Amino acid sequence: MQIYGLCFIEYGVKPIPLRNVVVEANVVDMIAEVTISQTYKNFEKNTIEAFYKFPIYEAAAVCGFEAEIDGQRKIKGIVKESKEAAKEYTEAVQKGHGAYLLESESANVFQCSVGNITSGQTVVIKITYVTELKHDSETEKIRFVLPTHIAPRYGSSEYSSSSNDGKILNPDAVSYSNRADFYLDLTVTCRMTSTIQNIESPSHKISTEMNIDENPKISKITLTEQITYLEKDFILVVKSKDLNQPRAFVEYNPETQTNCVMLTLVPTFALNATMSELIFVVDRSGSMGIEPMKKAAQALELLLHSLPEDCYFNVVSFGTRHDPLFPKSQLYSETTLSQALNLAQIMTANYGGTEVFSALKWTFENSRNDMPTSVFFITDGGVWNVDQIVELVRENEEKKKDDLRFFSLGIGDSVSYNLVESVARAGKGYAQFVTNNERIDKKIIGMLKNALKPPIKDYNITWANHVEPLEEKELDVTPMEIDKPTISFMSDENMELQPPSINIFTDIKVQQAPYLIPPIYSGIRFIVYCILEKNIEPCKVISLKATSQDGPMKLDIPLDPITLQGSKIHRLAARKLIQDLDDKKSFIHKHPKNADKHIPTSFVKKHIVNLGKTYNLASKYTSFIAIDEKNNETIAPESQAISQKRTVPQFGGNPNLFGFGSVRNLSNLSSLATTQCQQVRCSIQPNSFSQSQTASLFGQPNQPSLFGQTVVQQSRTSQTGFGFGGQPSLFCQSSQPNPFLQSQPNQPSSFGQPNQPSLFGQTSQPNQPSSFGQPNQPSLFGQTVVQQSRTSQTGFGFGGQPSLFGQSSQPSLFGQLSNSQTPVAFGSSAQSPSLVIKNSNINHKESQIENLFEFLRLQSFNGKFLPNKSFYEFFYKNDLNDLINLKQEIEKELSESSEKEIEDILINCIAIAYLKIIMFNNFKDECEMCYEKVEKVLKKMIENNEKEKIIIEKAEEWIKNWVNNNS
């Protein structure tokens, strides 16, 4: 039985009530307000109760919840403590009232419960949130992201970032569908304070209407095609004039009678680099797939080429296990660079699960203690134990203080924004994101430049006259009585002793959010808020001060004279305050007067609940509740019975559904559901993929894959250990033995575990190619390679399809060179016997990323280009004799230099000219650090600025002639 669309199982297939999805977003400079409307209609005879989950951006503040019933009446939700809201919801459903509940499962996943939808009734649920917009360093635009589905998470929900705490939601009950029966209506309206210069979407085809009402500051964006679901997150990038300039706004909230100031800027400054250790932690789990893994490998290779000569570095691959390239970070040299490039060029997504914690733990434990360390974390994310990982990063950052920074790069179309943003925030770095269709190079080089600069310290912002966020005299002492747990008469378990009552500073007149000013990085948007107590006015000029290794820094930002009215900025500030409390970095945790004091969880919870209620925000401890009370006379007899619980499933063969759909099955029918699943072989269960009688390689449509569930199929139980908490699974098992996929029928699979039979990467024939690649096996990212008169192909098993790095005319197996055991480097200047792979279709005279990578592979670790055959062939020359005219020009300027010195100078001045004339057109940021390295090399060779300038000009002239003359 094949299950499609938004539906549930109850004695057969019946439709789920979700009928329509409308998304309206309003973007104003660097803030967006988004309203998601869900239309539910009950076509059944019985009253039903529906549940669905939906994702939002990690930093968003959910601030509105409304239910409209039959187009006649609207009920606004109010914020209450989660346990209280869940109790009211349950009681209302039992009484037959309409009940609507919105709860937070984690920072970026929410669940809505819709109770008692009577037969024929239509209910429209509206959810509103406000969010900051990230600065897109690749294109210098603001980046609006609409998450469209909940990506599958590795591990067990016992590590979920939010405890149940009496909520209705069940974190494990997430199932998905691969088709929806409604069209998505998406509209984004941009209202900027200056002219809109450009709008584009790297994810979807859009229609853009500029100059609305003849106003160049307003535009409207819609989807070009009608689609029933989004297969990836919707991303919009907008460029508006002067959007990066320093700005300060003040908003007055009449409800709280307070002012809130928002300070934002995209700084540009230069600091001298410092000697550093750089550790690149690269996700090679199965979820990285083809494109994300390709981008990660490209990013790593570019980083390796761009490292400064005096740094130490290491590369850590991780998945189910972790493998460091070196036991300890090594000095950057020709040898270590060659080893690292070899690794980058054979990387495949063949490490199984996503054990982030153990990989980062090893990284921190084995980092150097004699210099600053920067960690680059490259992943697609998607794990349950986000809080555990964030706590690990936070503890190590505090231990090393300013000597550890953590930068994260999220890759792919369905990144876990929560993980990527949270670890970067905890590690005092920053996060960037790139889809499969976007360039990664500029973003990663920008990260490297910032990582090599010493951290800025001693931040201070003056928000109001004579009032500072750290002033102790503004604080009141709040005696905190600890609630003692009730002890059972029938349990001999010892209760955890709570610390005695303590005095904690809590009441401050200036609430800076975040309390600890985040690090400022060149080219990255900086945003800080401050809520001022009643009757406190902000300064006319907001002053930002800090201290750098090169001296003091200061910036004065005039406050915008127009006071905004409303609550949007207040809510964003309150969201940051809640985030601070969750991250243990709030003023309660970090004020000097609270140093070394135990801050109880109950105390933190109390403050989060207070912020949620004050600013109408859903959070870890607060939920929205709306009740539609009905008179007893109007409640039909069938409605007074317990309503049937309905699910909105979420992803099938692809995790692509527009993220609504987590559910509970019918009351007391779990055993019935299991029986049905057995009868139809793979019907639908929590966490299920698509359903059919035939198993598939990777959960493709029309083929079953249960990703973490035990399934009885033809009287056999198949298991695979994808690492989801040891849960058995039908992930890629087949009811019929398949020698390509299974090593032995009826044996558990370990998805690439060492020494275990596995579907992905192990075969019953040890010399046969694998479907998913093996560690320590070479892979040339899709190139067909001839070596020792034998041909091996790589790829992902898609016969005749292009693969990761280049083209392959043959089917490939993603990560195996079955006839070779030697990893291959693409042209490192310290190459061991290796293969030179050339694509005759590439014209080196064009500014293409492939040319840049090929050219940089000719550069030594110290920046020098060597006069070897590979260099001459890149320019379609045989040797120095083909450059006789330029050689003679250089000899005129440097008559006393030897033949060897002349050739070295000639080669490196051509390299400088090629990068500047050809590559700077499209890839200036990407190759800038490599350019600076070779520029230093040439300076040392010539030691005369005037002659150096003349020689470079001659080389640039030669490059221009080379391009134009087809010679």
Residues 687-726: pLDDT tens digits?
333 333 333 333 333 333 333 333 333 333 333 333 333 3
φ and ψ at residue 936, rounded to 5 degrees: -65, -40
Please name every residue paired with 627 in a beta bridge, in sequence order, or none if there are none: 99
Single out the residue of 657, 650, 652 nearest to residue 701, CA to CA: 652
Q: Is 360 helix (H, G, I), strand (E, B) or coil?
A: helix
Report whether 805 contacts 782 (CB < 8 A): yes
Q: For residue range 801-855, list pLDDT tens digits in order.
A: 333 333 333 333 333 333 333 333 333 333 333 333 344 567 899 999 889 999 9
Please tell me whether residue 817 adopts helix, strand or coil conformation: coil
- pLDDT for 325 beyond 70: yes
The band of 676, judged by pLDDT with boundaries at 50, 70 and 90, is: very low
* Phi, psi of 552, rounded to the nearest 5 degrees: -70, 155
705-735 burial string, b = 16+ CB within 10 Å, else e? Answer: bbbbbebebeeeebbbbbbbeebbbbbbbbb
Q: What percent of the chain has pLDDT over 90?
A: 47
Structure confidence at residue 150 (pLDDT): 59
Task: Pick the closest to residue 192 from 242, 234, 140, 145 (CA basis).
Answer: 242
Arithmetic mean of pLDDT, 320-346: 95
Contacts from 783-787 at CB under 8 Å and sequence distance 24+? 783/807, 783/808, 783/837, 784/808, 784/809, 784/810, 785/817, 785/820, 785/824, 785/835, 785/837, 786/835, 787/817, 787/819, 787/820, 787/822, 787/835
Question: How far, in Å, CA of 277 to CA of 641, rounded?
Answer: 66
The 8-class DSSP code of residue 286 comes to G
pLDDT of residue 442: 83
Residue from 412, 351, 378 nearest 278 by CA: 378
In whole angstroms, what is the distance from residue 369 CA to residue 452 CA?
A: 16
- Of the listed ranges 267-281, 351-365, 608-622, 690-704, the least confidently predicted one is 690-704
Look at residue 209 and tell me whether its pLDDT is greater than 70.
yes
Asked whether the beta carbons of 56 and 421 are under 8 A apart, the reply is: no
The predicted pLDDT at position 64 comes to 95
CA–CA dist 306, 103 (Å, integer): 46
520 touches 526 (CB < 8 A): yes
* Cα separation, 760 vs 685, whole angstroms: 24
pLDDT exceeds 80 at position 230: no
Check pLDDT > 90 for residue 79.
yes
* 609, pLDDT greater than 60: yes
pLDDT at position 947, please?
Answer: 93
Candidate from 93-102, 783-792, 848-857 with smallest mean pLDDT: 783-792
**How many of the other CB atoms lie within 10 Å of CB of 173?**
18
The structure's pTM equals 0.74
Backbone φ, ψ for residue 677 (5° rounding): -60, -40
Kindly indicate the confidence band of residue 427, based on its pLDDT and cuts at 50, 70 and 90.
very high
Q: How many angstroms separate the CA atoms of 771 and 283, rounded? A: 19
| pLDDT (tens digit per residue) in 437-492 | 888 888 899 999 999 999 888 999 999 987 666 554 333 444 444 455 555 555 55
Hey, what amino acid is at 313? F
Is the predicted pLDDT of residue 861 greater than 70, yes or no? yes
Please give the C-alpha separations between residue 111 and each of 430, 648, 659, 699, in angstroms, as whole numbers. 28, 11, 10, 25
One-letter identity of residue 358: S
899 vs 891, 904, 956, CA distance in Å? 9, 9, 21
Average pLDDT over residues 410-436: 90
Per-residue confidence (pLDDT) for residue 226, from 0 to 100: 74
CATH superfamily of 277-455: von Willebrand factor, type A domain (3.40.50.410)
Beta strands per DSSP E along 326-440: 330-331, 373-379, 404-411, 431-434
C-alpha 335/C-alpha 831 separation (Å) is: 9
Q: What pLDDT, on a 0 to 100 scale, did the predictor assign at position 745?
A: 38
Question: CA-CA distance, 136 to 239, in Å (whole number)?
Answer: 10
Instruction: Tell me the three-class secondary structure of 860-896, residue by residue.
Output: CCCCCECCCHHHHHHCCCCCHHHHHHHHHHHHHHCCC
**What local confidence, expressed as pLDDT, does residue 508 receive?**
81
Tokens representing residue 590 in the block: 């970090």
DSSP letter for 157, please: G
> What fold, for 7-243?
Immunoglobulin-like (2.60.40)
Q: Which of 128-142, 354-368, 405-419 shows the lowest per-residue confidence on average (mean pLDDT)?
A: 128-142
The half-sphere exposure of 619 on its side-chain side, counting CA atoms within 13 A, is 30
| Domain spans of the chain, in order of start | 7-243, 277-455, 849-965
Beta-strand pair 277-283/373-379? parallel
- Confidence (pLDDT) at 578: 95
Q: Within 13 A of 822's CA, how many CA atoms are on the CB side?
A: 12
Q: Which pLDDT belongs to residue 411?
A: 92
Q: Give the integer Cα–Cα distance in Å for 215 and 191.
A: 9
Give 552-599 as a DSSP string.
Answer: EEEEEEEEEEEEEESSHHHHHHHHHHHHHHHTT-SHHHHSGGGTT---
* φ, ψ dihedrals at 928, nearest 5°: -60, -40
Grouping H, G, I as helix, E, B as strand and the rest as coil, residue 411 is: strand
Map residue 909 onto helix, strand or coil: helix
Give per-residue pLDDT as tens, 735-769: 333 333 333 333 433 333 344 433 333 333 434 43
